[in-house]
Amino acid sequence: MDIVVSGIRSTGNLHLGNYFGAIRNFVKMQEENHCYFFIADYHSLTTHPTPANLHQSVKTVLVEFLACGLDPEKATLYIQSDVPEVAELYLLLNMNAYLGELERCTSFKEKIRTQPNNVNAALLTYPTLMAADIIIHKAHKVPVGKDQEQHLEMTRTFASRFNRMYGVDYFPEPVAYNFGQELVKIPGLDGGQKMSKSDNENSAIFLADSPEAIRKKVMKAVTDAGPTEPNQPKPQAIENIFQLLQIFSSSDTYTHFNELYNRCEIRYGDLKKQLAEDITTYTRPFRERMEDLERDDVFLGRVAKIGAEKARESAAKTIREVREIIGFRSM
């Protein structure tokens, strides 16, 4: 049985991109693997240093994990900071992580650009913390979206370097994994390639959005003046809307609007109204479950506690063995 590990930073609500790119895979994978899914609250401090609502953000993601169908009986669901062994492995991996390779990381370069006033050491070593998250459970597979591939590549580097340096065959080299092969990328409403909350809040529809919020965002989605000749290829922003239609609406609806487009008779207002309605129908059950879970602090507390215990058991075993391999001995 494969060991699967993945995490989501606790920086706000989950959007449709997170769901289709990551969480939906978690839900499928928990059936047949040994899964560890966690909320990366240490990682969230790299970009949200004064976390006024750290606790609430963690609770939100836990509620949303559960509402999406993650099952604490099938998978180990935990909060990263409940497992301090991760921090020790992070420290040990940092001893053999080099400035050059960390500086070359795309996400680091991106952060230098987006938050020039807070280029902290943990941003630089984000990949070693992520590697620690993964290899602490000796994972084989890591379900994540395409944007995380480079971090996984670095995880393999750190794992194999550890094995080589200490002459052991201890850590497996984990691979990025997408259930059913196809890497899914949910496009943004702003005409951008990727729905993302970090880039532009309004490009994203959150699982928690009310029908009213969904309608407003979809109606504001970027479009153009419409095609002037029949059967033309669609510009990116229009392609995005059609991709969303393909995911959330019936195939009849998709065909209907696609034909209108090809005949230059498309009215984006009608298309958007339909799309908003279909997304609302899709997300309604998630939202309802979230409302119930949000009120059940006793249950949430129990889930987090059981998850922490199971995750710590696995993590502590790894730390014991790693200390042994490196050569720490008690006097």
> Taking the complex as a whole, how short is the minimal distance between the CB of residue 328 and ligand ADP, in angstroms?
34
In terms of CB distance, is 150 or 262 closer to ligand ADP? 150
Q: What's the CA gap between 174 and 208, in Å, rounded?
A: 32
Q: What's the CA gap between 107 and 153, in Å, rounded?
A: 13
Picked from ligand TRP, ligand ADP, none, the partner binding residue 123 (CB below 5 to 8 A depending on kind) is none
Considering only the stretches 93-101, 143-151, 187-195, 216-224, report the one whose residues sit in contact with ligand TRP under the rule CB under 6 A: 143-151
In terms of CB distance, is 162 or 286 closer to ligand ADP? 286
Considering only the stretches 61-69, 86-94, 183-191, 263-271, report the one whose residues sit in contact with ligand ADP under the rule CB under 6 A: 183-191
Picked from ligand TRP, ligand ADP, none, the partner binding residue 5 (CB below 5 to 8 A depending on kind) is ligand TRP
Beta bridge partners of 78: 38
Q: Which x/- pattern, by CB under 6 A, does the window 142-181 give for ligand ADP?
A: --xx-xx---------------------------------
Token pair 């987006």 is found at 114
- Assign 3-class secondary structure to 270-296: HHHHHHHHHHHHHHHHHHHHHHHHHCC
> Taking the complex as a whole, how short is the minimal distance between the CB of residue 177 and ligand ADP, in angstroms?
11
Picked from ligand ADP, ligand TRP, none, the partner binding residue 208 (CB below 5 to 8 A depending on kind) is none
Q: What's the CA gap between 286 and 284, in Å, rounded?
A: 5
Phi and psi at residue 40, to the nearest 5°: -85, 80
Kindly identify the residues of this chain, within the stretch 96-135, that bind ligand TRP according to CB under 6 A.
130, 133-134
Considering only the stretches 2-10, 63-71, 82-90, 233-241, report the one whose residues sit in contact with ligand TRP under the rule CB under 6 A: 2-10
Catalytically active residues are: 111, 194, 197
Token pair 């909320």 is found at 39
Picked from ligand ADP, ligand TRP, none, the partner binding residue 196 (CB below 5 to 8 A depending on kind) is ligand ADP
Alpha-carbon radius of gyration of the chain: 22
Dihedral Cα 147, 148, 153, 158, nearest 10 deg? 150
User: Crossing angle, helix 106-114 and helix 126-135, to 10 degrees?
Assistant: 130
> Taking the complex as a whole, how short is the minimal distance between the CB of residue 147 and ligand ADP, in angstroms?
5
**Identified binder of ligand TRP from the candidate list 61, 70, 75, 142, rule CB under 6 A:** 142
Q: What's the CA gap between 31 and 71, in Å, rounded?
A: 9
**Identified binder of ligand ADP from the candidate list 30, 60, 125, 196, rule CB under 6 A:** 196
- CA neighbor of 163 nearest in space, from 123, 131, 124: 131
> Taking the complex as a whole, how short is the minimal distance between the CB of residue 69 and ligand ADP, in angstroms?
16
Q: What's the CA gap between 209 and 107, in Å, rounded?
A: 28
**Residues whose CB is less than 8 angstroms from the CB of residue 95 and which lie 6 or more positions away in sequence, other chains included:** none
Picked from ligand ADP, ligand TRP, none, the partner binding residue 186 (CB below 5 to 8 A depending on kind) is ligand ADP
**Residues whose CB is less than 8 angstroms from the CB of residue 47 and which lie 6 or more positions away in sequence, other chains included:** 9, 11, 111, 115, 118, 123
In terms of CB distance, is 152 or 275 closer to ligand TRP? 152
Give the residues lining the site for ligand ADP (CB under 6 A): 8-9, 17-18, 20-22, 144-145, 147-148, 184-186, 194-198
Give the residues lining the site for ligand TRP (CB under 6 A): 5-9, 40, 43, 130, 133-134, 142, 144, 148, 151
